[in-house]
Amino acid sequence: MSISVNLSSVSSWMTESIVPWLLSHGLTIALIIVGALVVKKIALNFIDRVVRRAVPGSSFSNSDAERKREDTLISLFRGALSIVIWIIAVLMILGELMVEIGPLLAGAGIAGVAFGFGAQYLVRDLINGFFIVFENQYRVGDAVCFGDTCGTVEVITLRTTILRDLDGVVHHIPNGEIKITSNMSKDFSRINLDIGVSYDAELETVIEIVNRIGNELAEDPDWKDKIKEAPQFLRVNDLADSAVIIKILGETKPLEQWSVMGELRRRIKIAFDKAGIEIPFPQQVVRYVNKPQQSGE
């Protein structure tokens, strides 16, 4: 008898309390969650399209590197927008649950201040990383220098940049520590070569050989796709102790300057040898002075 009374009272309580609450607040909470999911999906698709169209490209850019840059920006905006949407949704749900939001916001503010002091370096890294990606300062595959640290960019995140140098050493550099970036492969690279010839060499002959070799290299089927402007004589750069230093300039596609300069040096050396033009090297003359013999010795 008591069990039937209890069941009937529970049923009555559910009918009078739970069902009306579900029909009002519960339905509102469900609509908030569904609305948040719909808004998130629409916003994320919008971000994807906008970033793909708005981020400027370059005719010299690698398509894979350009897409990685776009994907990084999209990931950043998606993450930030998702956090904002769900924070708003949770606050609206708490309001439906009759939870006082004011004390929660005050506590979150105090915790945020404490967290901010400890995470200021992390925030600096993230902000600087965002501008590195957004401003296209460098991308994966670029050859860059951060002060005295140089290498090829292997990974870019909002917090760090990872370089690998010629020795194979991997450098993890926080983006907030990057003050000056020197990109050696942005849009194009430059041949900047100094070569010394002896003072006895005929300068006009040297210039003619250098320009001819540069043009031949730029027209070579194996090298022409790497060269944008043929290497040519620019000026007499210095009158050194044992050589006349000439400067040669040209332009190549990104990251091709070192291979082109190596081939240019090889061809110039062969041509100079055939023409009898000496590439001098520092020499030191040592003289031995005989000590005069003293009388009686």
pLDDT tens column, 227-268: 999 999 999 999 988 899 999 999 998 888 999 999 999 999
CA-wise closest residue to 98 among 25, 24, 36, 28: 25
Amino acid in the structure at residue 54: A
β partners of residue 196: 245
Query: How much is the pLDDT for 1?
Result: 43
CB-based contact 271:234 (threshold 8 Å): no
Percent of the chain with pLDDT over 70: 73
Right CATH number for 189-275 from 3.30.70.100, 3.50.50.60, 3.10.20.30, 1.10.8.290? 3.30.70.100
Residue 294: pLDDT band (50, 70, 90) is low
Question: Comparing 104-186 with 189-275, is the CATH topology the same?
Answer: no
> Tokens 């350009």 label which residue?
66
Tell me the pLDDT tens digit for each residue of 153-188. Answer: 888 877 888 999 988 899 999 988 888 889 888 888
DSSP 276: T
Nearest to 72 by CA among 179, 153, 151, 148: 153
Instruction: Identify whether the C-beta of residue 215 lies closer than 8 Å to the C-beta of residue 230.
Output: yes
Q: Is the dihedral of CA 34, 36, 37, 42 positive or negative?
A: positive
Residue 213, pLDDT score: 94
What is the rounded CA–CA span in Å between residue 91 and residue 100?
Answer: 10
CB-CB contact of 210 with 232 (8 Å):
yes
274 versus 68: the higher-pLDDT residue is 274
Residue 147's SS3 state is coil
Contact 129, 162 (CB under 8 A): no
CATH of 104-186, one of 1.10.30.50, 2.30.30.60, 2.70.170.10, 1.10.10.1100: 2.30.30.60
The pLDDT-based confidence of 48 (bands split at 50, 70, 90) is: confident
Domain boundaries, the chain: 2-99, 104-186, 189-275
Average pLDDT over residues 212-240: 92
Identify the residue with better confidence: 51 or 72: 51
